[in-house]
Structure 1
Amino acid sequence: MQHQLDITFFRRKKLPIILQNELSECGLACLAMIGHYWGIEFSLRELREKYPFTLRGASLKNIINIATDLKFNSRPVRLEMEAIKHLTCPCILHWDLDHFVVLKKIKGNKLYIHDPAIGKVKIKWSEASKHFTGVALEIYPATTFKPEKSSSKISTKSVVGKIIGLKKGLVKLFLLGIMIQICMLISPLYLQWIVDDVIAVNDTNLLTVLGIGFILLTLLRTSIETLRDWFISIFSIQLNYKWRGNVFNHILNLPLEWFQKRSLADIISKFHSIQEIQDGITNKVVSSLIDGILVVTTFVMMFLYSKALALFSFLAIIFYLILRWVSFDAQKNIISEYIINKAQQESHFLESIRGMQSIRLYNHQIERSINWMNLSVKEINTGLRMEKFSLSMGFANKIIFGLDRIIVIWVATLLILENNFSIGMLFAFISYKEQFSGRIISLIDKISDILMLKIHVERLADIVLTLPEDNSETNSIFEKNTIHDVTIKLENISYQYSQNEPMILDNINLTIPMGQCLAITGASGCGKTTLLKIILGLLTPTRGEVFIGGIPLSTINKNSYRKLIATVMQEDHLFTGTIAENISFFQASPDFNEIEKCAIDASIHEEIKYMPMGYNTLIGEIGTGISGGQKQRILLARSLYRNPQILALDEATSHLDVPNEIAVNNAMKKYHFTKLVIAHRPETINAADRIIVLNKGRIISDELNKHGENAASEALD
């Protein structure tokens, strides 16, 4: 224990709040928080890459194993609620049966919790007992522990990436801002010269010159300000368009697993962080630089007029700066909590819309409404706390600088009475002081806002710093219609979601000749869909290699490979548009004859023909007005329209009646491409040339189809 004290004695320990990005990484986020507390400042992203988890999340054993790897000792404890006060904090608590949180401290009858799902929480003892499951984990440094710094800190530059015209635009904004500030610096001299040099000596000629000169200066300043505002509008729109386009394109190329571990509303919320960061770059960063220059210049002018008066204003600024610095963490926590609460409310709303049929059938409208209103109240209350904080800062601002103004005028008047200051100089000094105070307040507030952007930068980093699927141009490129051999070969394929999970597939060896129709069957959860996704390049095997035409799939450009394949997967969607657009997948110049031919082969043409708008009937993911069987056949027509060399079907006819399924299977026989079919129904299995059966991740049967009535039942047995 003495070694532990030596490590941390001279370091101020602080428990940060680290929010989970994936739905199942609460345990890893808790470990990251405690790691930061003791000096291991790895980001959650780095820990996630080193210790990946499945959607099922981490068990207590997983957390202990990772903690041990990070040179921590762990002590799991089973205890009653009353014994929590004896735990060494910070520690991890098992919460709500399926969640982990960090207990920071206990004060009075309240527990201070860092919840990776929602942020900082203060919860009463009685309320905590409803959530605590009786399991805790104390974590503390081992004797071999050494503090470590993160090698890859997230920066705004790494999140923004390369945007053409960004630097050039910022330079233009800066130059326009400087020109405006020069005009503002000259403006206070007008009143001083009028009072001291015109009125005092009755010089009308000078009055005329000053009047005309400052009219021209005002016109120039107004013109430049208008030009700057217009440029900001255009620049912001262009920047937003380019940046959002870059990020959206990046999202479309992220690995499939990334989407499976995040909620839709959370992804949308992170994408919208672009707007906040972009506003900070175009408005706050450039303005802060200009404000900083003006602050220095105006203070020098004030100092030249009167050192004493300048000192009073400077002390007021110091006091306001300390106030903002002390309250910074509180403001950051409120903003983080608001973003999370808003995302949770929107997630609940989207889930309710998508699951409306289930809600109606189970009569759960009232429950969903109450839950949504509770989430909305949390969002509103956090918003009110933000507004309260803003009003408090505004109140302090007015008090500090109101008193400052009174004291400055008081002291300046005494200087005038002592003939050490002129009235014109007072007017000019007050004008410079107002500029100085206004600009430095603006500078402090903008710097605070820029630092707050770290919240949005970290959220957006979860998107832009995740590596996209490998589509390197150095990999083998498949050109459609030039590949003559798409024989699929799997050698020693094994797959597991993470190191701590069991094998989903275990040492699979399989060769699928070109043109063969292969049926893959087996009990639910035996690895059928996982095997298909590995062949399609959606998942990377833990061990082994997939070969396409003798070429390792890992060396093939994924985009070019997928030009050869078409699929109907369980998770496939229709998109908002016409039936024809969905079949052609919104091709710019679709072949309508081919659309109709594919619809006929998918046994959906006759039903489309009798719809009021035919192939121009509008459909979409929600409110399609079509049955599950019709949706599957439209998806099948879409896959046929692609004219693939490999067709993968995952329960693609599960919603069809027997006559339609037989019609589809018969139509498919005239296509000579490779067909990979996951099925349970005998009609689909009997249509295959070959049947393999999976059980617990292994192939237990691999036979050519006898084309007899009992082939499917024998395979299933």
Structure 2
Amino acid sequence: MKMFSDFRHFRQIERAECGLMCVGIVSELLGARLDASALRRKHPVSVHGLTLRQVCEIASTWSMECRPVRCELEDLTQLALPAILHWKLDHFVVLTRVSSGRAWIVDPACGRTTVSLSELSRAFTGIAVEIRRSTNFRKRSQISPLNLLSLVQPDRRIPGSLMQTVILSVIMQAYVIATPFYIQTAVDDAGLKGDHDLLLTLALGFGLFAIFNAVAEAMRGIVLQQLTSILTWGMSRKLFRHMVRLPLPWFQRRKLADALTRFDSLTPIKSLIANGFVMSIVDGALSIVTLVMMVMFSPLLTAVAGVGIAATLVLKLALIPATLKLGAASLNASIAEQGNRIETLRSMQTIKLMAAEEEREIQWSNRLAEVVKANQANGLVNVGLTAGGRLIDALTYVALIYIATREVISGATTIGLMYAFLSYRSQFSARIQNLLDQFVNWRLLDMHTHRLADIVLQATDPLVENQAQCSASIKGHIELRSVAYGFSNDKFVLKDVNLTVEPGEFIAIIGASGMGKSTLLKVLCGLYLPTRGEVRLDGRPLSFWGAQAARRAFGVVMQDDELLSGSIAENVAFFDERIDMDRVWDCLRRASVADEIASLPMQANTLIGDMGASISSGQKQRLLVARALYREAKVLIFDEATSHLDPINEQRVSEAIAKSGVSRIVVAHRRETLASADRIYVLNDGRLVKVADRSAPASQLAAEV
């Protein structure tokens, strides 16, 4: 199995996880198949990736021994394989074989491939890791495949629709099965004997049968349409519901285009459940009936037809690995192209300021070329498959006509039986082809289920799942107890952070860029779960309150927060079903933006473009502050939420918020903001340190600490 596996389940989703996926690939090559999702959960990888030492440490936790070596190109044949190679300075691949001037590698980005040694020399940095089984290594399989039925939203209409589809399909196929009898009887019993009455009776009978068949086909189409709609609605809602409840780091580590295209993987699954599953049952049953009829008519002709069908099956089965590989390549290329296009559209202002339109066009053209190349390769395989199948079918048909005609001449069979057999043969061939196509589609489905598994098998945010209390009882007392947070156990962004915030207090946090201030606020809000320690709200862990209660107690403005497409009022109320306009205007006044909104032709009903594109950055920040105030939160958490404001507007906003008497935790650097804080902390090297002298500038305070 490992010889032919392309390790699709270990395809990297994030650019930085190639080293982790290489560990999974090597483990499978050594005989222990791991679950990629379990690997990701046990060894979360930061956006900075893994060092060689970290890769070896992860491998050792799965009972594998590593020996990093430095080797030249000519020494690769001496490596103990499989081995992990450092590739193009920022990537890892697995070397599985070196022979005849070529190297066989498994790339977590694209699967199995072969390269010449000259190509390898340009990518290989000279650093490799030999990996072998340790004494306690044992062969095992920890794969947790995605159950397709788990994607289906339970609906009492689905079983009934499936049963109706099966019944109507059987009725339709009964007409197809009976048609050869009509041909045989019309030719042998009516045509050759000149029986006009029998011919008329047959024509009327099968004409009515044809009408009945057309009605059944139309009814089946309606049922399938309803079934597809039910599946589309239920599966899409279930998947989206699960996805929006995933932890925030899941979204931050993935490209937007990749997350978007994962929903497209639902389409072939819905098609297979709604249509492919039913037709496979019908085709399988009726192909047996058709085969029996063929044998009854002529065992010799059946054997000849069987040889042709077997040859077609061999051809298709031989091309399945290529089809799967090219399908994955086409999908990956399409994701890269779409991601580049989305990134370009979102960054158009920057691109124009840098006069980089041509450069972006070239980059996108290169991505598009990869898509065209992958689709062309896939198309060529399909052309070869179609041409080969038609050639085999034509040669088989020629042989059948020749043998059948000889039997007619010898009197062993009749012309009607010959026509009937050829009709049954066409039906049998078509059904076998359909079954094989469904088998190929099922194999291709594996690629889509692995993409969906990254969503479905990912654990949801535990804070979202727990809805224990209501927000009315929350007073706003916050406590951080020995909180640590990091993407890996040996590199923490926050280290042993302790902080207590009483209701109504104003806490300011300063620190150099990259010290983890935004991370600290996200831990406070429950967007990040602490690696160690806990965050307590009113003396209880955040998990006690649940996301709805805890996060509604917070009014938060982060640096990268966005406005959504809609009116200003809708954004301030965050699309509440019942918007309190008096409260909206009160929040706009407290955010010092009411006069500017009132001067607009449509005032608070003015529409804002995607990401707030139609307003200034200062107005955007004040609208975000107004949105936080609208929640009537117990605690306001601002991450440089007024950095784009002029001193006058910033002072107005600060004074208005101070009058509300709610707790405030603010990341800021301006002296005016720090001067009004009850306490100031500096975050440095992952630790919070309280500042005694509050009169110095923020930069001096941070430098002294």
Q: TM-score range by the shorter chain?
A: over 0.9
Choose from 654, 660, 663 the match for 2:652: 663
The residue that corresponds to 2:477 in the other structure is 487
- Change over 3 Å in CA distance of 1:472–1:594 after alignment to 2: closer
Counterpart CA distance in 2 for 1:162 and 1:184 is 34
Counterpart CA distance in 2 for 1:11 and 1:595 is 62
Counterpart CA distance in 1 for 2:2 and 2:379 is 35
Q: Secondary structure of 1:497's match?
A: strand
Counterpart CA distance in 2 for 1:199 and 1:516 is 101
In structure 1, what residue type is equivalent to 2:280? S
Deviating more after overlay: 657-666 vs 360-369 = 360-369
Kindly report which structure 2 residues correspond to 1:412-451, keeping only aligned pairs within 5 A, or say none. 412-451=404-443
Deviation at residue 86 of structure 1 after TM alignment: 3.8
Does residue 346 of structure 2 align to residue 357 of structure 1? no
Counterpart CA distance in 2 for 1:474 and 1:251 is 16
The residue that corresponds to 1:563 in the other structure is 552
- Change over 3 Å in CA distance of 1:307–1:418 after alignment to 2: same
In structure 1, what residue type is equivalent to 2:570? E
The residue that corresponds to 2:519 in the other structure is 530
Deviations 1:624-674 (A, max 9, x none): 132221111111111111111121111101111111111111111111222
In structure 2, what residue type is equivalent to 1:456? H
Q: Secondary structure of 2:95's match?
A: strand
- Change over 3 Å in CA distance of 1:21–1:475 after alignment to 2: same
The residue that corresponds to 2:684 in the other structure is 695
Counterpart CA distance in 1 for 2:225 and 2:577 is 33
Counterpart CA distance in 2 for 1:683 and 1:171 is 72
Deviating more after overlay: 669-678 vs 330-339 = 669-678
Query: Do the aligned residues in 2 keep the contact of 1:665 with 1:687 (CA within 8 Å)?
Result: no
Deviating more after overlay: 46-55 vs 80-89 = 80-89
Does residue 312 of structure 2 align to residue 320 of structure 1? yes
Choose from 65, 79, 104 the match for 1:73: 65
Counterpart CA distance in 2 for 1:604 and 1:387 is 57
- Change over 3 Å in CA distance of 1:54–1:163 after alignment to 2: farther
In structure 1, what residue type is equivalent to 2:475? D
- Change over 3 Å in CA distance of 1:226–1:126 after alignment to 2: same
In structure 1, what residue type is equivalent to 2:553? L
Choose from 180, 189, 207 the match for 2:181: 189
Counterpart CA distance in 1 for 2:16 and 2:253 is 7
Counterpart CA distance in 2 for 1:617 and 1:96 is 51
Structure 2 unaligned residues grouped into runs of 5+: none
In structure 1, what residue type is equivalent to 2:109? A
Does residue 447 of structure 2 align to residue 459 of structure 1? no
The residue that corresponds to 1:20 in the other structure is 12
Deviation at residue 233 of structure 1 after TM alignment: 2.2
Counterpart CA distance in 1 for 2:635 and 2:141 is 48
In structure 2, what residue type is equivalent to 1:663? R
In structure 2, what residue type is equivalent to 1:48? R
In structure 1, what residue type is equivalent to 2:69? V
Counterpart CA distance in 1 for 2:291 and 2:527 is 61
Q: Secondary structure of 1:208's match?
A: helix
Counterpart CA distance in 2 for 1:489 and 1:51 is 28
Counterpart CA distance in 2 for 1:126 and 1:364 is 34
Counterpart CA distance in 2 for 1:328 and 1:680 is 61
TM-score of the pair, normalised by structure 1: 0.93
Q: Secondary structure of 2:16's match?
A: coil
Deviation at residue 279 of structure 1 after TM alignment: 1.6
Deviation at residue 185 of structure 1 after TM alignment: 0.8
Counterpart CA distance in 1 for 2:555 and 2:77 is 59
- Change over 3 Å in CA distance of 1:472–1:373 after alignment to 2: closer
Q: Secondary structure of 2:664's match?
A: strand
Deviations 1:186-220 (A, max 9, x none): 11111111112212333333222211110110001
The residue that corresponds to 1:4 in the other structure is none
The residue that corresponds to 1:603 in the other structure is 592
How many equivalent residue pairs? 702
Structure 1 unaligned residues grouped into runs of 5+: 1-9
The residue that corresponds to 2:373 in the other structure is 381
- Change over 3 Å in CA distance of 1:352–1:487 after alignment to 2: same
Deviation at residue 376 of structure 1 after TM alignment: 0.7
- Change over 3 Å in CA distance of 1:368–1:484 after alignment to 2: closer
In structure 2, what residue type is equivalent to 1:460? L
The residue that corresponds to 1:246 in the other structure is 238
- Change over 3 Å in CA distance of 1:71–1:713 after alignment to 2: closer
Kindly report which structure 2 residues correspond to 1:181-580, keeping only aligned pairs within 5 A, or say none. 181-471=173-463, 476-477=468-469, 479-480=470-471, 482-483=472-473, 485-499=475-489, 501-580=490-569
Counterpart CA distance in 2 for 1:335 and 1:236 is 24
In structure 1, what residue type is equivalent to 2:431? R
Query: Do the aligned residues in 2 keep the contact of 1:284 with 1:450 (CA within 8 Å)?
Result: no
- Change over 3 Å in CA distance of 1:714–1:71 after alignment to 2: closer
TM-score of the pair, normalised by structure 2: 0.95
**Residue identity (%):** 35
Taking only aligned residues, the RMSD between alpha carbons, in angstroms, comes to 2.2
Query: Do the aligned residues in 2 keep the contact of 1:691 with 1:715 (CA within 8 Å)?
Result: no
Counterpart CA distance in 1 for 2:621 and 2:458 is 33
Deviations 1:533-580 (A, max 9, x none): 122111111222222112221332212222222210112111111222
Choose from 20, 35, 40 the match for 2:32: 40
Counterpart CA distance in 2 for 1:122 and 1:619 is 51
Query: Do the aligned residues in 2 keep the contact of 1:23 with 1:263 (CA within 8 Å)?
Result: no
Query: Do the aligned residues in 2 keep the contact of 1:118 with 1:341 (CA within 8 Å)?
Result: no
Counterpart CA distance in 1 for 2:466 and 2:580 is 33
In structure 2, what residue type is equivalent to 1:372? W
Query: Do the aligned residues in 1 keep the contact of 2:612 with 2:620 (CA within 8 Å)?
Result: no
Q: Secondary structure of 1:699's match?
A: strand
The residue that corresponds to 2:138 in the other structure is 146
In structure 1, what residue type is equivalent to 2:452? L
Deviations 1:294-346 (A, max 9, x none): 11111111111111111111222222212222221111000011101110111
Deviations 1:94-131 (A, max 9, x none): 12222112233345554443221233444444444333
Deviating more after overlay: 437-446 vs 464-473 = 464-473
In structure 2, what residue type is equivalent to 1:235? L
Kindly report which structure 2 residues correspond to 1:676-691, keeping only aligned pairs within 5 A, or say none. 676-691=665-680
Does residue 54 of structure 2 align to residue 58 of structure 1? no
Deviation at residue 143 of structure 1 after TM alignment: 3.6
Deviations 1:499-532 (A, max 9, x none): 2x32222222222111212112222233322222
Counterpart CA distance in 1 for 2:634 and 2:367 is 49
Query: Do the aligned residues in 1 keep the contact of 2:517 with 2:667 (CA within 8 Å)?
Result: yes
- Change over 3 Å in CA distance of 1:11–1:544 after alignment to 2: closer
Deviations 1:219-252 (A, max 9, x none): 0111111111222223212311221121112111
- Change over 3 Å in CA distance of 1:104–1:623 after alignment to 2: farther
Deviations 1:108-163 (A, max 9, x none): 55444322123344444444433322222222223432211125233323444645
- Change over 3 Å in CA distance of 1:106–1:438 after alignment to 2: same
Query: Do the aligned residues in 1 keep the contact of 2:344 with 2:360 (CA within 8 Å)?
Result: yes
Q: Secondary structure of 1:557's match?
A: helix
Deviation at residue 47 of structure 1 after TM alignment: 1.2
Query: Do the aligned residues in 2 keep the contact of 1:91 with 1:102 (CA within 8 Å)?
Result: yes
Counterpart CA distance in 2 for 1:144 and 1:489 is 44
Q: Secondary structure of 2:479's match?
A: strand
